[in-house]
Amino acid sequence: MTIAEVEQGRLRSPFFPRQAELDRLFRWHEWKGYASADGFYDTTLEYFSVRNSTGVFDLTPMTKYRITGPDALDYLNRLVTRDMSKIKPGRVAYAVWCDDEGQVIDDGTIFHLRQGEYRLCSQERHMAWLTAAAIGMEVSIVDETEDVCGLAVQGPTSFSVLQAMGLDGIENLRPFGLTTFDFQGTELMVSRTGFTGDLGYELWLTPDKAIELWDALFDAGKLYGIMAMGTEALEHARVEAGFIAAYIDFLPADVTVRTGRSRSPLELGLEWLVDFKKPNFNGRRALAEEKRNGSAWRLVKLDIEGNKEAHNSYIYAGKKGGKNIGFVTSAMWSPVCKQNIALGTVQAPHGKVGDKLYVEIYYQREMHWSRVMAEATVVDKPFWDPPRKRATPPGPY
Amino acid sequence: MSERYDTIVVGAGHNGLVCASLLGKAGRKVLVLEANDRVGGAAVTREFADGYSVSSCAHLLYQLQSQVTKDLGLKVELARDKLGTVALSADGKHVRINGNDVSGVGDEDVASYRDFRKRMTRFADLLKTYLNKTAPRLAKDASKSDMLTLAQLGFDIRRLGRKEMQEFLRLIGMNIRDEVTERFESDLLRGAVSFDAVLGTHLGPRSPNTIMTYLYRLAGSHARLSQPAGGMGSVTEALAHSARENGVTIRTGMKVKRIVVQNGRAAGVETESGETFSSRLVVSNADPKSTIMNLVGARNVETGFTRRVHHIRMRGDAAKLHLALDGLPSIAGVEKREFADRFVIAPDEVYVERAFNHAKYGETSAKPVFEITFPSFRDDSLAPTGKHVMSAIVQYVPYELREGWSDGARDAFTKLAIDTLSEYMPDLPQRITASELLTPADIEQQFHISGGHWHHGELVLDQFLFTRPVGGAHQYAMPLDGLYLCGAGTHPGGGVSGAAGRNAARAILKSEKVV
Amino acid sequence: MKTYDAIVVGAGHNGLTNAAYLAKSGLNTLCVEKNEYIGGATVSRNLYKDWKYSNCSYVCSLLRPEIYRDLDLARHGLQVTPYGGGSVFMENGDYLGSYPDHEVHYREYARFSKADADAYERYSADTMRQCRFIREFLMRTPPDPASFKPKDLKELAYLGAKFFEMGEQRMYDTIRFWTMSVAEYLDEYFETDVIKAALSGSGIIGTALGIHSPGTAYVLLHHYMGDVDGNMGAWGYARGGTGAVADAICSSFKSLGGELRTDAGVEQILVRNGKVTGVALSTGEEISAKIVVSAMDVKNTFLRCMDKNDLDEDFYHRVKNFKIRGSSGKVNIALGGMPTFPALPKGSPLLDGDMHFIDSMERMERAYDDWKDGTWSKDPYIDMTIPTVSDPTMAPPGKHFMSCFVQYCPAQIEGREWTEDERQQFGQTVLDQVADYSPDFKDLIEHVEIRTPSVIEDEIGITEGNIFHGELTMDQLMFNRPIPGYAQYRGPVGGLYMCGSSNHPGGGIMAAPGCNAAREILSDLKRPAITPANFGDD
């Protein structure tokens, strides 16, 4: 008997049949082996659905680990930099985890599903690191990526959509809270989380009811401007929200080849996630030393003059240029802020809030390349941060 | 917490005692806790049969560093010094080795062995300097003294002279088999030298790295073998005495259950019996794996470090065979006075290699190699009058036997070992009145050494100097404030040398000032 | 008597590369080759009907891209095509595939262990870090640590700086990597036996060591540090067989004005007053030159082709003790059709990759035990490729050429020469192992060539047929290669140079020793430096 070969092409999420029906662009890329759409109809419209109505993004390829066992909390507390004992059941924590050198391996969300039962969710895969972290601990780590599928339902009307879908009590769900509903006999977990910086939810359930969930959601959303969205729209939304992404704004330290290319949470502006009051966590010693001696890099949010997008630009301290002090990692024109924005990494001590830096922008118009040195102001707040994101209950549409 | 100490040393092995004694001498208030009923760890003398005693693990002294004896003013009484080596041949035509001299071989081998030893002892002397120092950090921000040590190492290697330096850099990673086959005609000589290089390791003569283990053996007294009066236990008794003189409290029968960690610091220990002792520093003489994984607990240190510790290779292959004899066995071609010497069964380097092959697959050697002594021959405290004990190291006996260790497996190997010995000592079986085989699994159990490995971690270049026990934690201080290691698992490694204990004490005194 | 500026002995890829650079610099250069064909072990020959046999070296990855470009080898006919994937057949009927696609590879490993599948990323990154470190030094001359010359001190400092650049923890990791065994290295990442077995092969290929021998992790680099068009670790086939590499370099050499003579075996390198004066051929003909470059291994160069009296005794002794060990053989097969491998799914891309038949670490190590006992492995490690799946030029349509690299295979059987009968048995061992996984394989065989180390030595000249011209152990690497004090391509007598794989950075079709030797020769002659520098990879 021949053993069947593993799937040679891209995996299809359980939502794929519905997405394929909607797809008019035929633009897909790969995300952890899954086919993931760049967009479905018009990426600009999809982007605006997040800011104007509701966009639905397929989260299934996110890596998900179920973490249980008597040491689960101790395990997580040692794994991530923030204090997980403060995250009660029904709450979700955004967290980063580091290697012993205090370099970020990845960021992700940890769902405290039930007492002592957690789900860690991240863009990249980490079974090897999580297994190493479990040496000497009584904890079980199960990869449930394929057992749980998910949809991000994001945008100002998302609350109304879910209410219309019949999720009673959703109005009480606070940001970073999670709750469960019965959905056609299956448990539907809803968390008030997202990667868009707007009002939004993430819906999780087993793949057998995926199509039903999609249909119920889109039925309920008909009057609320619901749209499927692809990665391009999401990417714009997350830059406006000031969120960082692995392999774009930082590299997972455990698989970074060149020394000095990884970053610490302090260097990524995530010091608020680092709780030095915890006596031990991975990277603590190195981070404490970094805190004492100062960081080498600093992540900056840049408000750039003009309207030329600063993709891959070098950053300088002065208008004349000279030696660059860093580079832009994410850049875009923000349609909703009407602002030329970017995320970048610069060498300390540059990049303090309020600093005026310069970015070298090359842009092309009809085969003609031009260069500008544009002033860029370091800002501290997310570019897009509407109050509705935080309101509980959220306002109706 | 009952009493407060400056430093608690976990384990009264010889390194723990050296460390404790030096700390005590410097005025620290030190408590040593030993799980067994007597001090010594694996360096003890123990009765294994009625009236018959033997050094339980290490049975010959040759690595005790002069720096240690000097610093502690230690005097070890010897039953016998400068033991010769008789490389046994079944036909009675043995080869005898004494220091740089070898007899029973051709003239060319005699000269070649002398050359070989000369070079090896020179390299070993170079090594010795660094065995008695903390291995430096390799880092741009390393301390001045680290930089100095590195520079000095470079300078010392260069000072060997162009040709010798080239030889040193070439030989250090090489295997012993190539060297002995290039140099010696005599099978027995090749076998005996190969044997010394692989003793206590999970390596065969063809394994690269075995020149280094050979040098390590020489780095002390040039492998001048001696037998302490009263067995190895008297060395550690002397160390314990020195420690007490220096104000150290030693308590035996106190098995440490865990090292107490408070606010990210080692703060004391808790014993199996439930007693707690608090201290500013905890120094563990236990091996790195059991210290970190069992006593401290992975949760109190970071993941990368845990993973490195988890991967320390420390599966022992050396067993101890103890025989109570009603008289000395006869060995063809060996005079009675020679029973004071050391016998080696390793007829040639291929034999040794084949013995090793089995260990790779979790099997015991079909034809094992032996280091045999009759300690009672010069020390009548060890056996009833007219009777004798044989103390032998037998390789290869894997820690993890494929089918698992059982009494049956132990008995089967004991029989095989005795059968092998009988090829050289035909009347041995009739002389045996009692026997004991300590497999590495037994050694782990009785002496609390993970894997029963006498070096507390395989002594190989990738677990040496900068990377012993693990890279980045190789300067005795562990990545948990207040916790130090001082056992054989740290630089430079095992053997009754005291170097690790002394280096650790010096590192502690340097960085942990009394407030 | 004919006179040249320089004579290069041996038209293997290193000899030709060296000769090409000497010719490019304007030296009147002759390359002599004992065989009627060029290439040394970088060769493809018609040994049976219309089949082209790459009967020594069979895959390509290490050839320095700097040289490939600089000598214009593409225009001289060289085309290297990457090949994808590979498989290990398991005794239980399963198989482990290695797929070029990252995600498919992950899925395949995850079939055995998700932790292993994920650990592969870290394993790749950690190994790649070591590759990057060593790649920096492939096109450089090793410093002599015993020297006080500014050039050596500068190079030592450069080496130190590159090392320190890695950062503290990675320096320790590097020390460990250079000294540990491939089995131990893999144990730190993986739990699945077949995955470790699959990856461990690269730690022992061409090496007289077992997977548990310290130092074998480093050997991995000699199989990972290459690339095909920047795709690090990828391997490819030279279109037309491995010989196409030598043909292209030779063509480049000739276009630069060099002269090649085949059927011109060197009997002796001539020395007068401590300087080379030329070479004497086996025909008795003498050719003079002030520079003689040997592309042969060091044992051949000094023990066979030089008068002992011309050499310092210590040097002579060291050459004698240089370790070149026959550890591998080859079985090359002409097939009447493509054999089937029922364990693999129909249409699997793995059918186009390399194939292996050992599925456990224990079997890998036991194969070595046989070699230590002076015989060939009864259950050998075979690296099997069928280049004709992608190269139409090597066999008639529908027919195939199969190359089996076999380890371990000793130069001698228990200290004596091989008998013909034993050679046949060795071949049979290999055929049987392949046939265990391919029922129709034996029926398709049209012709078999069985090459033990001594067969390769007799034909190509490499001592014990060793693919690296000398063991890649620590005592024979960098400034120790081939011999401490002689690691800068200069021989012990004036005008004599060494450019073969016995020199840094060692064997495999890299061409770096040939190029590095040329750099040193031209520097001694005070001619402008023309050899290419490392492309760099920051």
Confidence of residue B454 (pLDDT cuts 50, 70, 90): confident
B47-55 mean pLDDT: 96
Residue B1 has pLDDT above 60, yes or no: no
A107 and A50, same structural domain?
no
Instruction: Specify the pLDDT at position C505.
Output: 96
Instruction: Specify the pLDDT at position B2.
Output: 58
Cα distance from B263 to chain A (closest Cα, Å)?
Answer: 5
Residue B334 has pLDDT above 90, yes or no: yes
A275 located within any domain:
no
Q: pLDDT tens, B306-330?
A: 999 999 999 999 999 999 999 999 9
- Separation between Cα atoms, residue C41 and residue C36, nearest integer Å: 13
Domain, as residue range, for A189:
16-62+146-240
A150 and A90, same structural domain?
no
C223-240 mean pLDDT: 87
B405-419 mean pLDDT: 97
Specify whether the CB–CB gap between C12 and C31 falls below 8 A: no
A211 and A81, same structural domain?
no
A310 and A162, same structural domain?
no
A133 touches chain B (CB under 8 A): yes
**For residue A236, what is the domain's CATH number?**
3.30.1360.120
Structural domains of chain B, ranges and CATH numbers in brackets: 4-44+232-313+452-511 (3.50.50.60)
Query: Which segments in chain A show pLDDT lower than 50?
Result: none
Specify whether the CB–CB gap between C29 and C5 falls below 8 A: yes
Contact A137 B298 (CB under 8 A): yes
Residue C58 has pLDDT above 50, yes or no: yes
Largest distance between two CA atoms of chain A: 70
Contact C121 A128 (CB under 8 A): yes
Cα distance from B354 to chain A (closest Cα, Å)?
Answer: 35
B301 touches chain A (CB under 8 A): yes
Q: What contacts A320, CB < 8 A, 6 or more positions away?
A: none
Cβ contacts of A100 on chain C, cutoff 8 Å: 169
Confidence of residue C29 (pLDDT cuts 50, 70, 90): very high
A285 located within any domain:
no
A32 located within any domain:
yes
Cα distance from C158 to chain B (closest Cα, Å)?
Answer: 15
Mean pLDDT of chain C: 95
Residue B3 has pLDDT above 80, yes or no: no
Mind giving me the DSSP string for A189-247? EEES--SSSSSEEEEEE-GGGHHHHHHHHHHHHGGGTEEE--HHHHHHHHHHTT---BT
A234 and A171, same structural domain?
yes
Q: What is the b/e burial string over B316-350, where b = at least 16 CB atoms within 10 angstroms of the residue's CB?
A: bbbbbbbbbbeebbebeebeeebbbbbbbbbbbbb
Q: Whole-model pTM?
A: 0.96
* Closest residue in chain B to residue C179, using alpha carbons only: B462
Contact A132 B302 (CB under 8 A): no
Contact C365 B360 (CB under 8 A): yes
- Separation between Cα atoms, residue B306 and residue B300, nearest integer Å: 10
- Separation between Cα atoms, residue C447 and residue C433, nearest integer Å: 17
Three-state SS at B371: strand
C118 touches chain B (CB under 8 A): no
Instruction: Specify the pLDDT at position B515.
Output: 61
C237-250 mean pLDDT: 97
A158 and A49, same structural domain?
yes
Q: What total number of domains does chain A contain?
A: 3
B115 touches chain C (CB under 8 A): no
Instruction: Specify the pLDDT at position C536.
Output: 84
**For residue A118, what is the domain's CATH number?**
3.30.70.1400
A320 and A378, same structural domain?
yes
A101 touches chain B (CB under 8 A): yes
Largest distance between two CA atoms of chain C: 70
Residue listed under structure tokens 């076999």: C406
Of A216, A240, A264, which residue constitutes the final position of a domain?
Answer: A240
Is the backbone peptide bond immediately before B136 cis, with ω within 30 degrees of 0? no
Residue B272 has pLDDT above 90, yes or no: yes
A80 and A44, same structural domain?
no
A380 and A300, same structural domain?
yes
Task: Give the rounded percent of residues in chain B with a pLDDT score beyond 70.
Answer: 99
Cα distance from C444 to chain B (closest Cα, Å)?
Answer: 38
C69 touches chain A (CB under 8 A): no
Of A143, A159, A177, which residue constitutes the final position of a domain?
Answer: A143
Cβ contacts of C215 on chain B, cutoff 8 Å: 173, 208-209
Between chain B and chain C, the number of residue pairs with CB atoms below 8 A apart is: 110
Cα distance from B170 to chain C (closest Cα, Å)?
Answer: 4
A170 and A28, same structural domain?
yes
Rounded to 10 deg, the angle between the A43-52 and A231-240 helix axes is 50
Q: pLDDT tens, B106-134?
A: 999 999 999 999 999 999 999 999 999 99
A188 and A317, same structural domain?
no
Confidence of residue C22 (pLDDT cuts 50, 70, 90): very high
A372 located within any domain:
yes
- Separation between Cα atoms, residue B289 and residue B478, nearest integer Å: 12
Q: pLDDT tens, C82-125?
A: 987 899 999 999 999 999 999 999 999 999 999 999 999 999 99
ipTM of the complex: 0.95
C133 touches chain A (CB under 8 A): no
Cα distance from A1 to chain C (closest Cα, Å)?
Answer: 7
**For residue A321, what is the domain's CATH number?**
2.40.30.110
* Helix (H) / strand (E) containing C80: strand C80-82
Instruction: Specify the pLDDT at position A1.
Output: 64
Q: Residue C146: which of B166, B209, B466 has the nearest Cβ?
A: B166
A11 located within any domain:
no
- Separation between Cα atoms, residue C403 and residue C408, nearest integer Å: 16
Please report, for residues A291, B157, B167, B215, the alpha-carbon distance to residue B151 in angstroms, rounded to integers and kept in the order given.
Answer: 31, 10, 20, 22
Q: Residue C321: which of B182, B460, B471 has the nearest Cβ?
A: B182
A257 located within any domain:
no
Cβ contacts of B305 on chain A, cutoff 8 Å: 100
Cβ contacts of B461 on chain C, cutoff 8 Å: 175, 179-180, 214
A152 and A232, same structural domain?
yes
DSSP category for residue A63: E
B172 touches chain C (CB under 8 A): yes
Residue B377 has pLDDT above 80, yes or no: yes
A79 touches chain B (CB under 8 A): yes
Q: Residue B472: which of C146, C169, C187 has the nearest Cβ?
A: C169
A253 located within any domain:
no
